[in-house]
Amino acid sequence: MSSAPKPAATRPTSRDVARAAGVSQATVSLVLGGKWPGRVSDATAERVRANARELGYRPNLAARSLRLGRTRTALLVVPALTHEFFARVYTGAARVAVDHDFGVVLYPSPDGTGPARDPFASARAALDGVIASSMATEALGALGGTELPLVMLDSDPSGPGASARVNLDIADGMRQVAEHLLALGHRRFTHVAAAVDSWTFAVRARALRETLAAVPGTSLRVVTSALEVADGLRAAETALAAPGHRPTALVCDGDVLAAGACKAARRLGLRVPDDLSVSGFDDLALATAVEPELTTVRLPAEQVGERGMAALLAVLDGRPAATGSLPVELVVRGSTARARGE
């Protein structure tokens, strides 16, 4: 005797989540739609999310997108995929996006910090907004022009066209480096500067120059380099072999350049930090992979991505985005020490 077929498992609905959490369907919609702050308590929001996870509830994104006229997709434009900083920015942005049922498409601009081409037939039709890290606003004209909301990360705050901006206190980071080295008695500096025409590197150069200029008896030379270890090595060799008094401190625009500078010092028979102090910027994994480990500036890259995605969501919802620069932190390690013979 055959048994009756079992009914197919039904997909949980928002009503099921509301019943389990002891709230209304409107509250479930607010929480899962990311619009609950100021309307629903933190405890209630967490209870709704916990019950939704337990029930395996997933909102009908297609229906919601049609209703709101949105694709629920953001584009994150970066100059390169090979730099760890941008990978961390993406991680932070994606973490916030997933909590709001958004997707993030990562797009390395083919021309680095130069003009970015539209990766879609029409960015306006495929995206809800664009987040761009360490690029100029003018480089993004092909990605929807002024039609798409645009959030700029680590970019010129006086630049045009952005709906919101998230910046790091880059100038303070370089000031911290300079003040640390000055306190160690260094007076002869060389800046191994990134050969990249962007706001963030211009700010670093200006902050270093102004901080050192305020201390009598200091000197500053500048050599430029592409952001590669081998190029940093060649630039540092040039600086260290130049006529006149050798610098006692190399201030590098990135940890990659600092790693190259340490290699150059060893090739010239110099010891870091006994004969030469070297500092980096970014606090990449590389900073603790070299020996001695690098004194560097830690940038909260994931927090930059989180803040950028949150800013885009705020713009889309008509809410004010969080403003203000994120603080950075000097991390002192073994590559810097007191100057000799100064």
Distance CA 221, CA 217 (A): 14
Residues 6+ apart with CB under 8 A from 204: 170, 171, 173, 174, 193, 253, 281
Q: Do 252 and 154 fall into the same domain?
A: no
Give the pLDDT mean for 310-337: 93
Residue 56 has what pLDDT? 79
Q: Do 111 and 214 fall into the same domain?
A: no
Q: Do 192 and 251 fall into the same domain?
A: yes
Cut 0.85: pTM above it: no
Residue 65 lies in a domain: no
Residue 234 lies in a domain: yes
Q: Do 88 and 110 fall into the same domain?
A: yes
End-to-end CA distance of the chain: 98
We report the CATH number of the domain holding residue 274 as 3.40.50.2300
Residue 240 lies in a domain: yes
Q: Do 138 and 204 fall into the same domain?
A: no
Length of the chain in residues, anyone?
A: 342
Residue 54, pLDDT above cutoff 80: yes
Residue 334 lies in a domain: no
More confident residue, 138 or 149: 149
Distance CA 174, CA 280 (A): 10
Residue 83 burial class via C-beta count within 10 angstroms: exposed 0-12, middle 13-18, buried 19 and up: buried
We report the CATH number of the domain holding residue 47 as 1.10.260.40
Residue 281 has what pLDDT? 97
Give the pLDDT mean for 196-220: 95
Domain hosting residue 22, numbered range = 14-59
Name the domain boundary from 59, 79, 96.
59
Residue 126 has what pLDDT? 67
Residue 338 lies in a domain: no
Residue 189, pLDDT above cutoff 70: yes
Residue 53 has what pLDDT? 85
Residue 15 has what pLDDT? 84
Residue 69, pLDDT above cutoff 70: no
* Number of domains into which the chain is organized: 3
Residue 5 lies in a domain: no
Residue 96 lies in a domain: yes
Q: Do 214 and 178 fall into the same domain?
A: yes
Per-residue confidence band for 99, with pLDDT thresholds at 50, 70 and 90: confident
Distance CA 193, CA 205 (A): 7
Q: Do 83 and 128 fall into the same domain?
A: yes
Q: Return mean pLDDT, the chain.
A: 85
Residue 6 has what pLDDT? 42
Chain position carrying tokens 């055959």:
2
